[in-house]
Chains A and B, each alone.
Chain A
Amino acid sequence: MTETLIDFDEVLEKFDPAMGLEVHVELNTNTKMFCGCPAVFGGAPNTNVCPTCLGLPGAMPAVNAKAVESAIRIGLALNCEIAEWCRFARKNYFYPDMPKNFQTSQYDEPIAFEGYLDVEVEGETFRIEIERAHMEEDTGKATHVGGSTGRIQGADYSLIDYNRAGIPLIEIVTKPILNTGAKAPLVAKAYVSALRDLVKALGVSDVRMDQGSMRCDVNLSLAPKGSDKLGTRSETKNVNSLRSVERAVRYEMSRHAGILLSGGSVLQETRHFHESDGTTSSGREKSDAEDYRYFPEPDLVPVAPSREWVEELRATLPEPPAERRVRLQADWGFTDLEMRDAINADAIDLIEETVAAGAAPQAARKWWLSEISRRANEAGVDLVDAGVSPAQVAEVQKLIDAGTLNDKLARQVFDGLFAGEGTPAEIIEKRGLALVSDDGPLLAAIEDALAAQPDIAEKIRGGNVKAAGAIVGAVMKATRGQADAARVQQLIVERLS
């Protein structure tokens, strides 16, 4: 179906967007929400399952204490109230990836509610109000067989792996985000990004959008400009990168406007986002009256976190990411541009650890943002997975500072590190990379070079020190780069003066 898409500027002339973001965060607990199976998705199918997470008759749930703790910490980090008393509820609907045909979730009694998260977009701060953060469980994973696309539509049948079923999820729901105008797509992206950093700083989730450990649903509606009535919303499911969040908002704004301006009405439905072209397509019609027949889970007792426990957990909260960035930029002396690049490259933690291991901030920044970033890009992996640790980077830099390596040799050390050849010291040893620090061989090489290029030697004698560059080059070549260029230069001048 072709959509009439309205130019973004025109949308803004006529409409105000309202957004609601629902983010599911998969916790990195050892075990699932309600059973002792490893909370590990992937691997051989149906290996991390038990009677409880398979929904076998007679099995019962038991709440993971760590998951509750993580939920409370997320709630606190989002400036939420923590419920004094709350319960799990059953959300009843049939779906083959859901073993019990109800999801154990929370309904009108979430563990955390009424919070906010401030995000900054182009120098302007937006306060995103959080309605609630609640605990629930993930579903199994279906793969669709047959049909042309491997998608659910048109498939002949589906295969289900329940390893993911029961992994703890925290669902974080915003209140309607209003008054963002042209910045709506950026605000959405900034919110999800800030939330990701916050949860990551808490250490309770891997928050890898590409791997589904953080998933975002984007609700969007348009209201006629100046009207305070919300329009009909669409819900774009599982938008799985920051860039896609921005694009999905932008696309839906244009699509809604197209419908509304042609006199149509927006269908309340779920939509699928397509990474390839940034469009969305129709999913399932969704009415407000959808009847999940919620009721309190009778196999579990209420969760009533004591205020002492909540305060104990509050004391474990890390520095808020925004404040931390301001502090680190000042400590490191980075320019705004340098800091932004480091943030965009997801290198803040890595640089911090490298500095902690003894490297100068600028040196740490240089290695992570140039050499290592390049290699991570080539390998198509995140910086953190590039294969080099902050301690190794600091060690390499230490060797440069000590004159054992130069930048060129250091790159070869990185080659060795990426190839898994051992520690920097071992690689230097194995590859014979250390700078020649003994003057003897250098002087011999200088003699050879001068003899080969008598005219250059003449120029240097005549006071043209710049001409020494050619001799240095020849010496470096002869020592296969393992000479300290500054020392060579010094020796040439001494020899000819």
Chain B
Amino acid sequence: MTGGIGAQIRPTRLSAMPELSRDEVRHLADLARIDLSDAELEHLAPQLNVILESVASIQGVAGPDVPATSHPIPMTNVFREDVVVPGLTPQQALAAAPAQEDDKFSVPRILGDEQ
């Protein structure tokens, strides 16, 4: 038998699919807080485009009448009673901290403003 899924995954180029430029990849990496070097960008950008092309095949498959599913098993109203349960001690909380001071997590100077 021929066809099947395997044949559909290897993309034939989709004109609708915008290529990610290196600048766009750098912007996404910035948003995701990953410091990509030029060499890494060189290496990753083409791979990302291949992946994006292959997943772009789903565009337009499901129309507006199809509802989105975010949980495979539909449930609603799962709540917890408002009752205190024991948590961690400060020692446990801070045990893995890269740096700490006065039982607080020590972090480098913060550039941005609070949201």
Contacts and interface: CB of A to CB of B under 8 A. Distances in A.
Interface stretch (B8-16, B48-56, B87-95): B87-95
A44 B103 contact: yes
Contacts, number: 138
Interface residues of B, number: 36
B interface: dominant SS: loop
Contact of B84 (A36, A46, A301, A303): A36
A299 to B, nearest CB: 10
B101 A50 contact: no
Interface in A251-303: 270, 283-284, 291, 293, 296, 298, 300-303
A63 B105 contact: no
A interface: dominant SS: loop
A162 B80 contact: no
Contacts of A270: 113
Interface residues of A toward B: which range? 35 or more
A423 interface: no
A304 interface: yes
A142 B114 CA distance: 10
A50 B107 contact: no
Interface stretch (A94-102, A177-185, A393-401, A437-445): A94-102
Interface string B79-115: 1111111111110011000000111111111101111
B78 interface: yes
Contact of B105 (A65, A162, A283, A284): A162
B33 interface: yes
B109 A157 contact: yes
Interface of A: 29-31, 35-38, 44-51, 53-54, 62-68, 85, 87, 93-97, 103, 139, 142-146, 152, 155-162, 237, 270, 283-284, 291, 293, 296, 298, 300-305
Interface of B: 31, 33, 70-71, 75-90, 93-94, 101-110, 112-115
Closest 5 pairs (CB-CB, A-B) = A50-B87, A36-B85, A66-B82, A284-B113, A65-B79
26 contacts: A30-B83, A31-B84, A31-B85, A35-B85, A35-B87, A36-B87, A45-B104, A49-B90, A53-B87, A65-B81, A95-B110, A95-B115, A96-B105, A96-B110, A103-B115, A142-B110, A152-B113, A155-B109, A157-B107, A158-B106, A159-B106, A160-B105, A162-B93, A237-B114, A284-B113, A305-B77
